[in-house]
Amino acid sequence: MNDIDQELKQRGVLYTPNGNVRTIQCPFCWRVDNQSRPMGTFNIDIKTGRGECGECHKFWEKGEWLDALDKPEIESKETDNKAVKETRNFQEIPAVDFKIVDVGEILAKDFGPEVWAVEGLIPEQSITAIGGAPGSFKTWLTLDIARCVASGEDFLGKFKVTKGAVLFVDKENNFRHLQKRFRQLGINSDHSICYLEQDAQDFFIEEDKSLATLKKMITEKNIKLVVFDSLVRIHKGDENEAKSISAVMNKFKQITSIGANVIFIHHYRKEPAGRKKSGNSLRGSSDIVAGVDALLIVEKTEDGKSLAIEQAKLRQDQAQDPFEVNIQVNEADKTMKFQYAGAYDPDKVAVDEAIIAITALLKEKGELGKQDLADMLSEEYSKNQINTAIKKATQPEGNIKVRKAQSNKHFYSLK
């Protein structure tokens, strides 16, 4: 029997088991509706001990709801409903005296100039997600952000940063692998970058002991940026459940509240080849995108020599237009540098993606006519984008061949 079940049984509290969740009547807002049915269900995660009220939608830590359960019972309500008679009744929590602030006070307040961790991309004391497909240089780019923040150097040679120390919680990459990347990016011992030890595999952000340890490190080392690689590795919950993601985001907010910025790396869900990517392409609950202040989507271009970066969300300001980043590799010493390369044409991205989609369709179907391809891809791409993609892919250096049939019809297949 797990700890939660034992605690509930010791107190004589009726509960309903459902996987890793135990449901009881909420000890904070319990009440009965006009048909004598109990309301205010309270769902407890047996792994974390955290509970959420379905009536008031508040989260409570284990110690808090156990204290509420230990309060003296009040007189039961008169009802013929047996389930209600057998359910414990609890006093409601007193109302909190919140202050009301009117618009005039907000308008009159001087908040000072907008402060950025990375100007125009990552606001100060914010939560930022960097998303993309595997192999899209997300970790590389995040390491370069850390290098620039630690040194005060402009990110990509363009975006000014606020200098400060950086802490990584990396449960994806081992130190041997990271050492190579440090050397390639020019990260050295002069950079104020540190890592949570590699054997800290029991670190999970939603657990109080992990968060307390992290906050202590942030305070002691004056950390200005905390990077999590990746989101899926640093929590125990289900990334598809809003409740689990909400708990994680609440912990991130506790980090930003003490003056640090949070960046986490996240991945795309599996989707058909060639489908356009966006913030909605990220794996898991929509609360992930809803909970962040900024979202950067990273895509590798078809030639693999540059990256396309889209700022899919920026809560504090107008989002940047998509831009291109060149990957500059020095073959002599194998060092690498990322350099801003100006605006990126979204149409070019769509054409490159359409080529991938056409290739996938031809691999599956064998041969298709031009109209067939247009019909199959019309929801994702414009007619002009599809025609441009076909034209580009049938060039001598492309991977698609064309067969002309009667009535000047064209059919396409892989070379």
Domains and CATH numbers, the chain: 3-85 (3.90.580), 118-344 (3.40.50.300), 348-414 (1.10.10.10)
Q: Is the pLDDT of residue 341 over 80?
A: yes
Residue 299 near residue 315 (C-beta atoms within 8 A):
no
Q: Name the DSSP class of 243.
A: H
Whole-angstrom Cα distance, residue 262 to residue 252?
7
Per-residue confidence band for 56, with pLDDT thresholds at 50, 70 and 90: low
Q: Name the DSSP class of 5.
A: H
If you average pLDDT over residues 219-238, what whole number do you get? Answer: 94
Tell me what pLDDT residue 67 has: 84
If you average pLDDT over residues 261-283, what whole number do you get? Answer: 72
Percentage of residues in the chain having pLDDT higher than 70 = 86
Per-residue confidence band for 95, with pLDDT thresholds at 50, 70 and 90: low
Least confident of 33-42, 51-60, 208-217, 234-243: 33-42
Tell me what pLDDT residue 60 has: 83
If you average pLDDT over residues 273-278, what whole number do you get? Answer: 49
* CB atoms closer than 10 angstroms to residue 178: 19
Whole-angstrom Cα distance, residue 394 to residue 398?
5
If you average pLDDT over residues 263-280, what whole number do you get? Answer: 67
Tell me what pLDDT residue 29 has: 66
Buried b (16+ CB within 10 A) or exposed e, 1-29: eeebeebbeeeebebeeeeebbbbbbbbb
Tell me what pLDDT residue 198 has: 64
234 CB contacts (<8 Å, ≥6 apart)?
169, 171, 203, 204, 205, 228, 248, 264
Q: Is the pLDDT of residue 367 over 80?
A: yes
Residue 404 near residue 396 (C-beta atoms within 8 A):
no
Label residue 104 exposed, middle or buried (CB < 10 Å: 0-12, 13-18, 19+).
exposed
CA atoms within 13 A on the CB side of 222: 5
Residue 138 near residue 265 (C-beta atoms within 8 A):
yes
Q: Is the pLDDT of residue 87 over 50?
A: no
Polymer length of the chain: 415
- The pTM score is 0.66
Whole-angstrom Cα distance, residue 322 to residue 311?
7
* Strand duo 41-45 + 38-39: pairing: unpaired
Whole-angstrom Cα distance, residue 317 to residue 337?
28
Tell me what pLDDT residue 310 has: 92
* Strand duo 294-300 + 306-314: pairing: antiparallel
Percentage of residues in the chain having pLDDT higher than 90 = 46
Tell me what pLDDT residue 258 has: 95
* Strand duo 223-229 + 165-170: pairing: parallel
If you average pLDDT over residues 235-252, what whole number do you get? Answer: 92
Q: Name the DSSP class of 32.
A: E
Terminal-residue alpha carbon distance, the chain:
62
Q: Is the pLDDT of residue 18 over 60?
A: yes
Q: Which two tokens stand for residue 56?
A: 């008031």
Q: Is the pLDDT of residue 42 over 70?
A: yes
Q: Is the pLDDT of residue 201 over 80?
A: no
* CB atoms closer than 10 angstroms to residue 201: 9
If you average pLDDT over residues 68-87, what whole number do you get? Answer: 48
Tell me what pLDDT residue 149 has: 98
Least confident of 57-61, 259-263, 330-334, 393-397: 57-61
If you average pLDDT over residues 262-281, what whole number do you get? Answer: 69
If you average pLDDT over residues 387-399, what whole number do you get? Answer: 90
* Strand duo 38-39 + 31-32: pairing: antiparallel
Per-residue confidence band for 200, with pLDDT thresholds at 50, 70 and 90: low
Which of these, 353, 346, 347, 352, lies nearest to 274 by C-alpha position? 353
Whole-angstrom Cα distance, residue 23 to residue 17?
7
CA atoms within 13 A on the CB side of 180: 6
Tell me what pLDDT residue 32 has: 47
Q: Name the DSSP class of 197.
A: -
Q: Is the pLDDT of residue 34 over 50?
A: no
